[in-house]
Structure 1
Amino acid sequence: MKISFKYISYFLLLVLGLSMTLTSCTDDLNVTPTDDDEFLSEAFFKDPASYKQVIAKLYAGLYVGGNDGDALPDISGLGGDFSSYLRLLFVTQEFPTDEAIVAWNDDGLPALNGQTWSPSNQFLYGIFSRAFYEISVANEFLRQTTDEKLTERGVDANLKAEIATLRAEARFLRAFSYYNLMDLFGNVPITTEADPVGLFYPVQKSRAEVFAFIESELKDMDNGLAASKTNEYGRVDKTAAKFLLAQIYLNAKVYIGTEKFNEAAVLCNEIITTSGYTFADVPYRYLFSADNNRNGAQSEFIFPVVSDGIAIRATGGGMSFILHASIGGKMNAGDQGMNGGWSGIRTRPEFVKLFPDETATGDKRGTFFTDGQTLDIANYGVFSNGYAVRKYTNLNSDGSAAQKTDIPDTDFPMFRLSDVYLMYAEATVRGAASGNLATATGYINKIRTRAGATTISSSDLNLNFILDERGRELFWECHRRTDLIRFGKFTGGSKIWQWKGGVKNGSGTDSFRDLMPIPSRTIQANPTLKQNTGYN
């Protein structure tokens, strides 16, 4: 068992029958019951326990797509497994890059492999809808927890203080969704608790306006979030807000055309020196094992998406998707602690070549499975084409079994301290006034020493090295698309990998694909939305 909060997320809401459905991206939260077992918002919030339960629903939505795991989907028209937030982030951040390729021929997946997507891509509609669903739940929680409403319900002072922290967490999770929408789609609507409930057409904002909203929210919630390292494992604190703020500053040149590398470096330094999160001095593989919440890896997990084989019923979402889909060919699923594989995801040869060898000898992070696999991907629809990846495992770090083999215990490290080291180093190399090159080199060498890789000198620390090192350290952690765009290597022809552009040897792609298209189904629901350039 990991934390009581997670059990609230995955059990209590099932008993309550919480029904929050999003009929379109232009709806806000609809909590009108369809039968007597469900409830109206006002009635529900009369129960003092309800406040933590709705926040639990927000956290659960990062992993599962509905109130019964994959069943009872949150979003009309999208299956619970298909609409898992983590699964959709992985699909959109990894499949269009050199780090991953998928064998399946589901409508829209080959286009993601080759950067040839269109506005009708169902996976882009999925991530757009999931993010706005989470925003809608957060907005309703914030509507129902104003001082006025709490006073009307007779909420006592102690519970009010706890709710103030929960409100800050709801705002953080809302900001996290807006960050993903801004990163993927650019110009998107902003809805808050101040907007009306029901069908209306929210105004589309520029990417700069969305950036400013996220920045303002993250700065302001420092007053409400729990102090660093004082919250329950799996819940965010002040450091998570600083991390996300550093992340948008690192990418500010892309998002708003203005560099904010020094702001990023300052925040990274604060996290490293004062947050209480510490570099996990354990083997690299411990960070991705089934017991990574308690084997020492958790010391650097700033924002984990919590998994549990017993408490979670999602067989197709979250880590269950990542692990099942990455097993196939001659791989023994039991060696990864799983009950089988779906023969889906591998990596591309150009990514393999970032490592000194294919056997994890010179760098323990290069966890490739090569038996029966070809490095060359002649046909991406064949799982044996391309090396498989064994980064994540559903075995404990000592090799013992996890709780179940169909649904993993492995937590997903959305934010971790090693990424802060890498962000600090990059911001420093890019000219952050507060950065120190020797300090940055020391952070990089800490990461490389844990991986059993050779250390570097300050003269080795350049942007090309940092991009490669981010790949080696953070691959399959939903960063690669964003990283490649920031380095100017996602589209165009400066960095080519197999099947980029939809051809076997790879080709340059148009720069407008640095932004995903606004899904056509979304524009049909809200005709005031403007499509991104290049997709008309």
Structure 2
Amino acid sequence: MKKIIYLFIIGAGFLGVQSCTDLNEEFLDEASATGLTDKQAADGIIAPVYARLPDIFLHTGYFALQEISTDEAILPYRGGTDWGDNGIYLDLHRHTFQSTSANVRNTWNNILQGMSRAIAAINELPTINDANAKVYLAEARGMRAYYNMLTLDLYGVAFVKENLGATSKIIRRDEAVEYIKSELMAIENDLSTTVGPGRLTKGAVWGLLARLHLNAAVYRDPYAATFTFKPEDMDKVIEYSDKIITSGQYQLSPDYFKIFDSDNNTNKELIFAVDQRAELNGHNRLMYFSLSGDQFPLPAFPAANGTDGPGITSDFYDTWVSAYGSDDPATMDPRFTKTNQAITDTCVAAESYNFNRGILRGQQYGLIRRNGAFVRCSDGRYKIGPLFNDSRNRPTTPVIFTKNVDFSVAGSDYSTGYRVLKYEFSKKSASGRNFGDADYSIIRLADIYLMRAEAKLRKSNDAAGALADVNLVRASRTATKPAPALTQMSLDLLYRERGFEFYWEMLRRTDMIRFGKYEGTWTEKTNSDPQKRIFPIPQTAIDGASNLPGYLVQNPSY
């Protein structure tokens, strides 16, 4: 049997045409892999299919496209010196992004490379004589469909390609929806149910099918003034959601923030996730992205601080305020914040130090750094106290996160905007920034309940059924006082609830479009062009396909 190892390089031709930015594969034959068993060969073929996910979900990639383009997150030009990046984050938020945007290009390239790896695995796994090969083949085919879901959602296109030497067929709208659906349905019976959230399982495919049917109205007619949600699509959302819920494999987590802990690979709420365990070389970047430059989450690393990146918008914060009125959302909803350290001067042992999580407001407390080292108490423990902007050469200016943040000079200062720390920092890190082992959720059980609730509302205005699903999720967070039950349900209330449940989880843009909110006005964004629902195809891809006129057509308005 011929055994093959893959080296994945940027080169010519995922699309099947010459391009300096498209993707290609290089194969090394069995001479380079003496002694490789069939199982090792199969494992070596499937692993790269998933390996691109951490790069896709990078804080400056998919996260930026899905969050900073919305009313949930904003990344100003901090202090006039940080996060300028030629205005790409300002453009994302204002919907003035163009086909040359680095975020748009890099996310496209990473997704297409993942797709290319999936196709390579589909071509080679049938030649492997190993018991796992059939399951791996189904996973590779499913991952090709998932990568196509991403390109359809972000760029309005999908690709039909069966082998790396062929030219891709580019499809859009209904044809793309039907193709992705057929691919996922074709592999359902061949998948495992027990391989964990980092690989495709039956449950993961059911979740992807539910999500595909829920968004099908958008994908079929992305610029429509009003989306037509077909009853048969909503029936399928309910059907696949029911399969997951009744399988008994998944459970809502009593502790909301446990879903995002470093050891969440075994959390039963996760259905499909980006496997970030330290031994698999994950990263902590999404964790420190939003924090202050004077917040240091790990006592072992006095150089690993926050970047004063994005904050939540005042608009998004106000949705919490409107929900709970005179009551502080921090006391009413366990999803808003989790307090892990006292808000006072104190001393703590290194192993006991944990950052507060969720939405961070006001004066921040933490490890105090002086002359490159953390201050210790007389007993050797670490001193915890109020933080100041020492790293910004403002030692008398406290780190106080304020509500209002925008692109003005005052609104772009280092402490503007409430911040988000949802995922836990890994204490296995070798630098404080790499080796994050908290899995990033792609699909989790709460989303299944809320998708089912939405389908009930859209199909037959079943407000009672939708309310029951939403309240079940709210009531499940029993590790602390759960959020109070809602007494009514509508699409607007469900949209608000999705914001509370899934903030910072890279679902917001897709939700905003589906609920008809993406052309709204918030903070610095006034653009109401519906064609901005879809990102431009990167100019590098257009240029690379220029030898085939009409083959890769740019999306409208770019």
TM range (shorter): 0.7 to 0.9
C-alpha distance in 2, partners of 1:105/1:113?
13
Q: Does 1:122 align with 2:87?
A: no
Q: 1:358 to 1:42 in 2, by over 3 A?
A: farther
Code of the residue aligned with 1:238 in structure 2: it is: K
Deviation, structure 1 residue 349: 0.6
Unaligned runs of 5+ in 1: 1-12, 34-38, 65-82, 396-400, 501-506
C-alpha distance in 2, partners of 1:62/1:271?
23
Deviation, structure 1 residue 304: 1.6
Residue 98 of structure 1 corresponds to which residue in structure 2? 71
**Correspondence 1:139-150 to 2 at 5 A:** 139-146=119-126, 149-150=127-128
- Secondary structure at the aligned position of 1:26 is classed as coil
Deviation, structure 1 residue 336: 12
- Contact 2:288–2:421 (CA<8 Å) still a contact in 1? no
Q: 1:470 to 1:335 in 2, by over 3 A?
A: farther
C-alpha distance in 1, partners of 2:279/2:195?
23
Q: 1:209 to 1:336 in 2, by over 3 A?
A: farther
Deviation, structure 1 residue 509: 2.0
- Secondary structure at the aligned position of 1:517 is classed as coil
State the identity as a percent: 29
Q: 1:233 to 1:189 in 2, by over 3 A?
A: closer
Residue 219 of structure 1 corresponds to which residue in structure 2? 185
C-alpha distance in 1, partners of 2:11/2:446?
36
Residue 415 of structure 2 corresponds to which residue in structure 1? 384
C-alpha distance in 2, partners of 1:106/1:18?
31
**Which of 436, 456, 473 is 1:447 aligned to?**
473
Q: 1:358 to 1:385 in 2, by over 3 A?
A: farther
Residue 545 of structure 2 corresponds to which residue in structure 1? 526
RMSD between superposed Cα atoms in Å:
2.8
Q: 1:499 to 1:518 in 2, by over 3 A?
A: same
1:45-69 deviation digits (Å, cap 9, x = unpaired): 97421221221112221114xxxxx
C-alpha distance in 2, partners of 1:374/1:266?
44
Residue-pair matches, total: 455
- Contact 1:345–1:383 (CA<8 Å) still a contact in 2? no
Q: Does 1:52 align with 2:43?
A: yes
Residue 517 of structure 1 corresponds to which residue in structure 2? 536
Deviation, structure 1 residue 87: 5.0
Q: 1:437 to 1:509 in 2, by over 3 A?
A: closer
Q: 1:99 to 1:42 in 2, by over 3 A?
A: farther
- Contact 1:290–1:393 (CA<8 Å) still a contact in 2? yes
Deviation, structure 1 residue 115: 1.0
Code of the residue aligned with 2:489 in structure 1: it is: L
C-alpha distance in 1, partners of 2:142/2:403?
41
Q: Does 1:326 align with 2:298?
A: no
**Which of 258, 261, 281 is 1:289 aligned to?**
261
Q: 1:236 to 1:172 in 2, by over 3 A?
A: same
The higher radius of gyration belongs to: 2
Residue 89 of structure 2 corresponds to which residue in structure 1? 109
Residue 78 of structure 1 corresponds to which residue in structure 2? none
**Which of 319, 332, 336 is 1:362 aligned to?**
332
Residue 79 of structure 1 corresponds to which residue in structure 2? none
Code of the residue aligned with 2:466 in structure 1: it is: A
- Contact 2:274–2:439 (CA<8 Å) still a contact in 1? yes
1:439-473 deviation digits (Å, cap 9, x = unpaired): 4322211222327221012xx11000010100100
C-alpha distance in 1, partners of 2:300/2:512?
29
Taking structure 1 as the reference length, the TM-score comes to 0.78
Q: Does 1:243 align with 2:207?
A: yes
**Which of 353, 370, 393 is 2:424 aligned to?**
393
- Secondary structure at the aligned position of 2:115 is classed as helix
C-alpha distance in 2, partners of 1:54/1:498?
46
C-alpha distance in 2, partners of 1:88/1:513?
17
C-alpha distance in 2, partners of 1:470/1:42?
52
Code of the residue aligned with 1:517 in structure 2: it is: P
C-alpha distance in 2, partners of 1:113/1:30?
33
- Contact 1:85–1:130 (CA<8 Å) still a contact in 2? no
Residue 523 of structure 2 corresponds to which residue in structure 1? 498
C-alpha distance in 2, partners of 1:337/1:484?
38
C-alpha distance in 1, partners of 2:57/2:417?
26
Q: 1:137 to 1:223 in 2, by over 3 A?
A: same
Deviation, structure 1 residue 331: 3.7
Structure with the larger strand share: 2
- Contact 2:312–2:420 (CA<8 Å) still a contact in 1? yes
